[in-house]
Chains A and B, each alone.
Chain A
Amino acid sequence: MGRDDFFGRFGGQFVPETVIPALEELDILRRRVLATTAFRREYVALLSTWAGRPTPILDARRLADSWGGRCRILLKREDLNHTGAHKVLNALGQGLLAQSAKKHRIVCETGAGQHGVATASVCALLDLSCTVYMGALDIQRQAPNVVRMRTLGAEVIPVESGSKTLKDATNEAIRDWVTNVRTTHYLIGSVVGPHPYPLLVRTFASRIGREALRQVRRLVGRLPHAVIACVGGGSNAIGIMHPFIRERAVDLIAVEAGGRSRRLGSHAASLTAGRPGVLHGAYSYLLQDDCGQVAATHSVSAGLDYPGVGPELSELHEQGRLQVTSVRDNEAIDAFYECTRCEGILPALECAHALAFARREARTRPRGTILLINLSGRGDKDVTTVASLTTKPAKKRNH
């Protein structure tokens, strides 16, 4: 261990000793394999022919009009990825890495089920066995994805402990990994967890930003004024933002789940309302009580319903480079409908949070402002949740 495994004071490897050697191996593998032409060639070929990348950018005119017509709204279409979200970038990358390490069993956690579906699909493609831990509550609210995972041949294990959501699914996935570490790769689904996971996942996810930077330049001839993304663990956010970090003129805005209220337990806004702490192997912003017990969370979106956040985002937040805000359940649902009715795109409830905040920005920013929004996934999985929450669908806006 000759290097630094932190982002400033955040990150680290706060996990049981049993898996430390596996993390060391993964770090070595990451540095040895990722840069090789053979790996890159295979990864890029599969991204193109299997996953459907690059994803386009949509100039969302009708949405822009309905938000006051002053700003230009550019949507990075991660919903068009195979399996329906940005998660496939990371799942495929780590899957190939596990294959090269001769680990034939994959274990992962999932919240919204998008990471689980992506991982199950990659495992089918690469002939790896796949075990997915998912909170019992999430199994209920993201039922279509559970069927997809099982159809793909994955074993989906319901987690009944704690709040029965992503945090508890992650606990169980880590416990499985600790038990079977010699044969199993833990395919973590976001830029969280012990080093080198936050770095590894960001490496794969930041393709979103590299594509977007090129595409936006080509489309509008300049950089966007702001990049907006929702934050659960932070993979889609750091993914689209990473290449823009050094572009100081570009605002980077992270939108967290404001849930029902500002009371601890009723939201999942870790950067907005948390304090640094250790969960799932990393030191980062965390929703916790005064005694350091991890707090319960709530969000209408299963993918954002998580008390922690990636260490790199904590560092960017503390440096002041990242603006942090939050959006409540009902605002996200409104934005979900607006995007659906104006653009003919069902967005995932996760990125509906980013859309909801973009809508606020669009009304206050100067005319001609360009907002780049990460539409991180498709919302087919959410239709029953949304239908059960809205007695009357929002009216189509006329203009």
Chain B
Amino acid sequence: MSASSQTVEQAIRLRLESGGKALVPFLTAGFPSAACFVDALRQTAESGCDVVEVGIPFSDPLADGPVVQHASQRCLDAGMTIRRALDLIHLAHVPIPVVIMSYLNPLLAFGCLRLTVDARAVGVRGFIVPDLPWTPQRRQRAACARQQIFRPSEISEQLRIAGFEVILLAAPTTPADRLRRIGGQTCGFLYAVSMTGVTGTRNRAPFETVKFLHRARAATRRPVLAGFGINSVSSATLIAAQSDGVIIGSALLEALQAGPRASAVARLGRFLTNVRNALLQGEGV
């Protein structure tokens, strides 16, 4: 049973049409505790977020900085799994589209077929797999068919066929032709990695980010949302002015980290509401 009747792209377009910019928070499943995570997930919708990303913890998160690493490890130590994360998403029952962010290996271990069935059952709309970059599908399939083998790269095609929005990432290093092809293939939105680096690091070259976001918007018909290094109202407004919205992760985990459950969730809510208001006023910047 789906909690939100909208697709990821519909939810973002609705926001853009009303003159605002999309706000997409990232939360690690089960962080800082299962109960607090469920409250936090509900809080994101109440604070006016458009889509929410739920991170499946992984032992070796290559694209993540210390904040997400620690959060992931803590959740793994507490026994978090894909199955439990789906249960918590089901429990939270949020009215905005939910996207799963997971590294490839936990998805492979869970099994693609089971994943499509179980994820759909709790209303998950899309997937982001940071270590599964875009590859030319035709070439992949031909090679696999020839050798009659399964390769993990096929998982994104299978998710797409099952009706999920598979959100692809582009980086400032992505060359023009590749960017165009990624922009053509992505569903939901194009995830623009705003700088070379891992999550949670400060953006030292905002000017370069602006140039990249221009390139990215010219390369796709989908909305372009920027993530990585956005940790404050000011960085969110700056980046949102050049894109269709922002993704905020590490800063939220930091807000959730300390104190009792109610105050942690309230802190998260205040932070998101501030960003939300700034992104509404930010129109025309």
B35 at interface, CB cutoff 8 A: no
**Structural contact, A19 and B173, CB atoms closer than 8 A:** yes
Q: Report if A6-B105 is in contact (Cβ < 8 Å); known contacts: A16-B169, A180-B196.
A: no
**Structural contact, B104 and A178, CB atoms closer than 8 A:** no
**Structural contact, A178 and B196, CB atoms closer than 8 A:** yes
Contact bitstring B39-79, A, C-beta under 8 A = 1, else 0: 00000000000000000001110110100010001001000
**Structural contact, A6 and B143, CB atoms closer than 8 A:** yes
**Structural contact, A292 and B109, CB atoms closer than 8 A:** yes
Contact bitstring B98-113, A, C-beta under 8 A = 1, else 0: 0000011111111000
Bound CA–CA A181/B135 (angstroms)? 20
Q: Which chain B residues border A354 with CB–CB below 8 Å?
A: none
A17 contact from B58, B73, B174, Cβ within 8 A = B174
A107 at interface, CB cutoff 8 A: no
Q: List 8 A-B pairs, Cβ < 8 Å.
A: A14-B104, A17-B133, A161-B73, A179-B198, A181-B173, A278-B108, A292-B58, A294-B59
**Structural contact, B149 and A16, CB atoms closer than 8 A:** no
**Structural contact, B107 and A292, CB atoms closer than 8 A:** yes
Bound CA–CA A308/B132 (angstroms)? 18
A35 at interface, CB cutoff 8 A: no
Bound CA–CA A200/B171 (angstroms)? 25
A-B contact count (CB 8 A): 130
B114 at interface, CB cutoff 8 A: no
Q: Report if A178-B109 is in contact (Cβ < 8 Å); known contacts: A15-B131, A17-B170, A278-B104.
A: no
**Structural contact, A294 and B153, CB atoms closer than 8 A:** no
Interface stretch among A141-149, A283-291, A335-343?
Answer: A283-291
Q: Which chain A residues border B62 with CB–CB below 8 Å?
A: 15-16, 171, 174-175, 178, 280-281
| 6 nearest CB pairs, A to B | A292-B109, A18-B171, A292-B106, A9-B149, A179-B197, A292-B105
Q: Which chain B residues border A277 with CB–CB below 8 Å?
A: 105, 108-109
Which of B65, B103, B105, B171 is the most central at the interface, judged by chain A CB atoms within 10 Å of its CB? B105
Q: Which chain B residues border A16 with CB–CB below 8 Å?
A: 62-63, 130-131, 133, 169, 171, 193
**Structural contact, A9 and B147, CB atoms closer than 8 A:** yes
Residues A167-218 near B (CB distance < 8 A): 167, 171, 174-175, 178-182
**Structural contact, B174 and A162, CB atoms closer than 8 A:** no
Min distance, Cβ A149 to any Cβ of chain B, angstroms? 24
A279 at interface, CB cutoff 8 A: yes
Interface residues in chain B, defined as those with a beta carbon under 8 Å from any beta carbon in chain A: 58-60, 62-63, 65, 69, 73, 76, 81-82, 103-110, 130-136, 139, 143-144, 147, 149-153, 168-175, 178, 182, 193, 196-198, 201
A22 at interface, CB cutoff 8 A: yes
**Structural contact, B109 and A291, CB atoms closer than 8 A:** yes
Given A9-B150, A278-B108, A294-B105, 18 other A-B contacts at CB below 8 A?
A6-B143, A14-B104, A14-B152, A15-B131, A16-B130, A17-B182, A22-B173, A167-B60, A171-B60, A174-B62, A178-B62, A178-B196, A278-B103, A278-B152, A291-B109, A291-B110, A293-B76, A293-B105
A1 at interface, CB cutoff 8 A: yes
Q: Report if A278-B173 is in contact (Cβ < 8 Å); known contacts: A167-B60, A291-B82, A293-B76.
A: no
Chain A, interface size: which category? 35 or more
**Structural contact, B198 and A8, CB atoms closer than 8 A:** no
Q: Which chain A residues border B144 with CB–CB below 8 Å?
A: 9
Closest chain A residue, CB of each to CB of B139: A1
Bound CA–CA A54/B34 (angstroms)? 59
Min distance, Cβ B71 to any Cβ of chain A, angstroms? 13
Bound CA–CA A19/B196 (angstroms)? 9
**Structural contact, B169 and A17, CB atoms closer than 8 A:** yes
Q: Report if A294-B198 is in contact (Cβ < 8 Å); known contacts: A6-B143, A16-B133, A277-B105.
A: no
A279 contact from B60, B135, B171, B201, Cβ within 8 A = B60
A68 at interface, CB cutoff 8 A: no
Residues A330-382 near B (CB distance < 8 A): none
Q: Which chain B residues border A20 with CB–CB below 8 Å?
A: 133, 171, 173-174, 178
**Structural contact, B133 and A1, CB atoms closer than 8 A:** no
Residues A1-40 near B (CB distance < 8 A): 1-2, 4, 6, 8-9, 12-22
Q: Which chain B residues border A6 with CB–CB below 8 Å?
A: 143, 151
Q: Which chain A residues border B81 with CB–CB below 8 Å?
A: 291
Q: Which chain B residues border A288 with CB–CB below 8 Å?
A: 105, 109
**Structural contact, A18 and B132, CB atoms closer than 8 A:** no
